[in-house]
Structure 1
Amino acid sequence: MYVYADESGNTGKNIFDAPAFFYQGVIMAVEDIDPILKPLIDEYCKANGVSRTHAHQMPADEVNLMCWKIIELLDGLIWCPHFVSICKPYLAPTKFLETFFDSFENEAVPNQWYNLNGNRLSMAYALEKILTLKNKQEFWSAFLEKDYLTLSNCLENALHYLPRYVNESSDLYDVLCGGLKYARRNVHRFTIPTQDSKRHGYKIHSPNGIGFTSVLEAAHTFANKHRTKVTAIIHDQNQEFKKTMEECHEFFKSGYFIEKHPDVPPLWEPAEFDLGKLLLKRSGDSPALQAVDIFTWIFQRKKDVRFDEIRNELTNRCDPFHISPVVALLMGKGLLGDAFFEQFKRKAFDI
């Protein structure tokens, strides 16, 4: 089995820079698809006088047609796409939640609130509203620098805005209020994870790091479904995140977290089929990576009706991984029904 992955671009430390979304695309197949796609890619490059395909440099109708041709070639195999979509600014409130509301460290947060999906989504959505843009930016910077004084100020600001968006009569309000107060009093007790240096510490928490983790989880799912070992994960060259990807790959190579029920915390599961080796390759040298670029370009254009048919064709073949406030709201509604909305004041749903 081979896994080809590419991303929409590096984000660096600043998750608040445009564009707001980070995207990652993947093609997984039980055999190497580079030689299968090479004649198609070479034919296009020769006809257009280019050395490789770049979806953003191609006319829209040609991208659409090329995408259908790639699918037609791959449909002779066992294969599957995978996509990741991350609202970058939303990583600030989700990291705020992970940092201060882990019930293992915060004695004011009941275990079922941090570890059960419906409650956790309620807290994440509430923090998205409670934290102002300035507070999110200050928290993200302080988190990366382990600046406890600024983190304490962020907790204080969150407490100030809490009553504006969350109903005081709700259990959600009590948990958030108690958790914020406990964290503010004991801010130095909380673990702020880093890697071996400040220079690399942010990368595992970046959209790139989170997106690559989703790639590895998808690879495990595909390997289990088709009872096959991964020969290689081939990712477009990325020197800035090379070390982070290598560390993630090593960690998840022989195991993964699995959620067996929405009301049970994810459990670590040893993998029957490991993830093979990680290879970083120039996309210009890989027809498969160029195909991933084309798929990902199509996936991003959710508001362009010209690509509705082909985009639906791709997404219907997989279970895309999304992180955004809208997804949190929809998932919260799905798990809790009307009880999700009853926790909030009306302005929490203003766009």
Structure 2
Amino acid sequence: MIMVFMRVFLRESKNAYLYTVKLHQGGVVYFYIDESGQTGLELFDENQPFLYYGVLSSEYDLDKHLVPYVEKLRKTLGVERLHAAELGNGRLVTIVDDLVELKNKYNLSFDFYRLTKKDHAALCFFDQVFDQGNNPAVPWNAYWTPLRYVLVAKVSYLFDEDLLKKAWKARIAIKKSFAEKELVDVCKELLNRVHWLPDTRSIEIITDALNWAVKNPSKIYYHASSKEDKLQISPNLIGFQSVMHGIATRLENTKLEATRVVVDRQSEFNKAQEWISDLYRNAKKLDEPMGFGPGMPTMDLKHMPAVPIECTPGTDSSGLEIVDIYIWLFKRHMEGKQLADELYPLILGQANGMFNEVSLQALMERWGKWFQDLPEPTPEQIEKGRELLKIDEERRAKHVKSAT
């Protein structure tokens, strides 16, 4: 489960940083994490197509320094808590000068993360069914090298929303027999559609892999064995991985140490967030980054926070109240929704923030460029590649034959 969990993150790791990271060298830093668009394991709510995470960071403990400022803003607005969705454009405009002052005074930096929920369902299907460790009919290089990103695009193309819902329902099912029956049905329907693809090699690989899965559904391990397993493949926890790696990037680039990592308390996902945070914290002692194949991203955990996360009610954290406002602003800006011109200084002023997106489009943009920039192989490299491909084709041929 841990290896599958890490692979899910690595498909989008270090993707699409829009801004440069810049904080003062040395010292400590405090992080405040909140989310928006949370629908749990329901990925197909048309009103909430994205899950967002926002991270506010500062060299000051905002839960101490911002208390009098936040109390003043609450009093000015006549509210018990600063909640941007309730305040809206009009009321936020009345306090924007105060927010800009706080940003400058306490050197606030904001990092923003987005996950497309429907894409998450497609990526989870691919990561389980086309995992070459689970499915021996998949060529080694089609999963353990960047060629996997070509394959995932083509497999995802074969889905429509109804079939994607069926695949996701099976993926989070605890009942093994139900999950396997649904998986077989999904694979058979994909086999009916595989001719939509234009190239024979992709058709061959996908057909072989799906046929093997149909004959061996129990070896795909497609169901969730417990409620905890379901949470570990939720978009919330995948997004939280992006957050933790973004924090590690800040700590690496700025030579800072995390003093506190404050996460908004909520009942469903805090335990899973604590689990992955503890996993990363305990694994940070690894001397070498974890590799996942030639040309693939590596996972370097040595800059992860050394402190456990603190799950805190939003009403008890001034930092969480402010990060809620930033998430609302950036979310509306990215979705093209109405945002008062007076509020843009808070967005445009975040030149030291990071943005990361988990989606099929972001994946294709990143790896499409990577493939375009590859140098032409030499004749010797082509010949060596053919030799290696022959060896692997001989390996998988017996598995393909057994599934026909």
TM-score with structure 1 setting the length:
0.84
Identity of aligned residues (%): 22
Alignment-derived partner of residue 348 in structure 1:
none
Q: What's the CA shift string for 1:65-117, capped at 9, x where partnerless?
A: 65664354334455532211111111111001100111222223233322334
Aligned-pair CA distance for 1:4: 0.5
1:248 equivalenced with 2:276 (yes/no)? yes
**Preserved contact between residue 24 and residue 211 of structure 1 (Cα < 8 Å):** yes
Contact 2:262 2:309 in 1 (8 A): yes
Q: Which residue among 185, 192, 206 is the counterpart of 1:153?
A: 185
Say which SS state the counterpart of residue 162 (structure 1) adopts. helix
Deviations, residues 127-181 of structure 1 (Å, cap 9, x unaligned): 33211222111111111224111111111111111222x2133x33332222222
Per-residue CA deviations over 1:265-315 (Å, capped at 9, x if unaligned) read: 333434156330211111122111011111110111121364684475266
Question: Structure 2: which amino acid aligns with 1:156?
Answer: K
Q: Does 1:177 align with 2:207?
A: yes
Instruction: Describe how 1:74-223 pairs up with structure 2 within 5 A.
Output: 74-77=103-106, 79-117=108-146, 119-145=147-173, 146=176, 147-164=179-196, 166-169=197-200, 171-192=201-222, 194=224, 197=226, 199-223=227-251
Aligned partners of 1:259 and 1:265 also within 8 Å: no
| Gap change, CA 1:178 and 1:273, over 3 Å in 2 | closer
Match of 1:267 in 2: 298
2:319 is equivalent to residue 288 of structure 1: yes
Residue 304 of structure 1 corresponds to which residue in structure 2? 337
Q: Which residue pairs with 1:20 in the alignment?
A: 49
The separation in 2 between residues aligned to 1:161 and 1:112, in whole angstroms, is: 24
Unaligned runs of 5+ in 1: 340-351
Amino acid at match of 2:49: A
> What is the Cα deviation at residue 6 of structure 1?
0.6
Counterparts of 2:230 and 2:252 in 1: how far apart (Å)?
31
C-alpha separation between the residues in 2 aligned to 1:338 and 1:234? 40
Taking structure 2 as the reference length, the TM-score comes to: 0.74
How far does the alpha carbon of each residue in 1:192-251 deviate from its partner, in whole angstroms, 9 at most, with x for none? Answer: 4746x2x33211111211111111111111111222222221111111112211111111
Q: Which residue type is aligned with residue 194 of structure 2?
A: L
Provide the aligned length of Structure 1 versus Structure 2: 334
Q: Equivalent residues in 2 for 1:298-337 (5 A)?
A: 298-301=329-332, 302=334, 303-304=336-337, 306=339, 309-310=344-345, 312-313=347-348, 316-337=351-372
CA–CA separation in structure 1 for the residues paired with 2:209 and 2:295: 21
**Partner amino acid, structure 1, of 2:369:** G
Comparing 18-27 and 63-72, the one that deviates more: 63-72
| CA distances 1:15-54 after superposition (whole Å, capped 9, x unpaired) | 1123111111111223312233333322221112111111
Larger mean CA deviation between 59-68 and 240-249 belongs to 59-68
2:242 partner letter = S
Q: CA RMSD in A?
A: 2.9
